[in-house]
Amino acid sequence: MIYKTHYCIRQKTPMVHHRVMLRCFVSRSLLTNPVAGQTRNMSGGSLAGSQSSLAGKVAVVTASTDGIGLAAAQALGQRGAHVVVSSRRQSNVDKAVALLQSEKIQVTGTICNVGKSEDRERLVNMTVEHCGGIDILVSNAAVNPFFGNIMDSTAAVWDKILDVNVKAAFLMTQLVVPHMEKRGGGSVVFVSSVAGYQPMQALGPYSVSKTALLGLTRALAPELAQSHIRVNCVAPGVIKTRFSQALWQDEDVVDEFKKQLSIKRLPSTSFLGVGEPEEIGGVIAFLCSKDASYITGETITVTGGMSCRL
């Protein structure tokens, strides 16, 4: 006790100085950092049960009738969210809805080609009409119509890739934000790729589009934090889906990828020893939950240890 008093008296001037500095730092942070000082609704609202519960939330997941999008819908639904699934083909939507219903997930389905503005608007309007609002957007759709040397890619290739992979992700966000604001907040997750960090050979324009999503995440996060909306991103490595089939068909490519993986799986425990869609779905659900309430503007790489550096 004596020691403490003595210490305080001796340190009086520096301690006051430190407190003033700390106050300045905190008020500066509050002014410049739109996330600072917000504790309410950053995951998109109240909690029922655990921190990871999404009960009462409405989640729109694009391109969600197969692969990573479907796994994201399952993960969100298992945590209690009502999920709205969509893709270009009605037959795929019907199959996904039936599967999710069989898993006791609350689900609505509709056609949406994210490259078409009328489809994007219909998806959002239908969700609001059916489900009463929107709390979560997972922007997962992407196309890759081109394999080859980047110098051989055409304007049409770039238009298609940037329209679907980047512009549609932004335009979907722009459409859902007013509805999230009405709910007091929300969460947006973009699906990028390891190729966004390290361009894949023969997938130049696609890789560039995935790098753009890393930038979009960071550009949107500070602005939308003012509306209690968090914006994050996941960058999967090689995951077993139809989309990445072209990679698995080439044994040399698979071998090259495997050299870069830290998590070495036997093909008997996982297809070709690469990642599974559920391993991305769970991370997406985490980012949408209260567990991630202080995370915004981030990209989580889920690559089995492949190095990701810009």
Ligand X SMILES: NC(=O)c1ccc[n+]([C@@H]2O[C@H](COP(=O)([O-])OP(=O)(O)OC[C@H]3O[C@@H](n4cnc5c(N)ncnc54)[C@H](OP(=O)(O)O)[C@@H]3O)[C@@H](O)[C@H]2O)c1
Binding site for ligand X (CB under 6 A): 62-63, 65-69, 87-89, 92, 112-115, 140-143, 164, 191, 193, 236, 238-239, 241-244
Shortest gap between Cβ of 240 and ligand X (angstroms)? 7
Shortest gap between Cβ of 71 and ligand X (angstroms)? 8
Shortest gap between Cβ of 112 and ligand X (angstroms)? 6
Alpha-carbon separation of residue 289 from 42, 194, 273 (angstroms) = 9, 23, 29
Shortest gap between Cβ of 244 and ligand X (angstroms)? 3
Three-class secondary structure of residue 300 per DSSP: strand
Smaller CB distance to ligand X: residue 58 or 138? 138
Distance separating alpha carbons of residues 289 and 200, to the nearest angstrom: 32
Buried residues in 238-277 as b, exposed as e (16+ CB within 10 A): bbbbebbeebbeeeebbeebbeebeeebeeeeeebbbbbb
| HSE of 160, CA atoms in CB hemisphere, 13 A | 10
Shortest gap between Cβ of 303 and ligand X (angstroms)? 9
Smaller CB distance to ligand X: residue 4 or 242? 242
For residue 252, give the amino acid letter: D
The answer to whether residue 294 is catalytic is no
Residue nearest to ligand X (CB): 67
Provide the token pair at 97.
Answer: 């809805």
Smaller CB distance to ligand X: residue 41 or 113? 113
Contact assessment for residue 275 and residue 302, using Cβ atoms and an 8 Å cutoff: yes
> Which residues, other chains included, contact 65 with Cβ-Cβ below 8 Å and sequence gap of 6+?
85, 86, 87, 89, 92, 93, 95, 96, 109
Catalytic residue among 7, 197, 206, 294: 206
Shortest gap between Cβ of 14 and ligand X (angstroms)? 52
For 259, the enclosing helix (H) or strand (E) is helix 251-260
Smaller CB distance to ligand X: residue 52 or 140? 140
> Which residues, other chains included, contact 282 with Cβ-Cβ below 8 Å and sequence gap of 6+?
75
- What are phi and psi for residue 300, nearest 5 degrees? -100, 125
Smaller CB distance to ligand X: residue 41 or 62? 62
Smaller CB distance to ligand X: residue 60 or 191? 191
Please list the active-site residues: 206
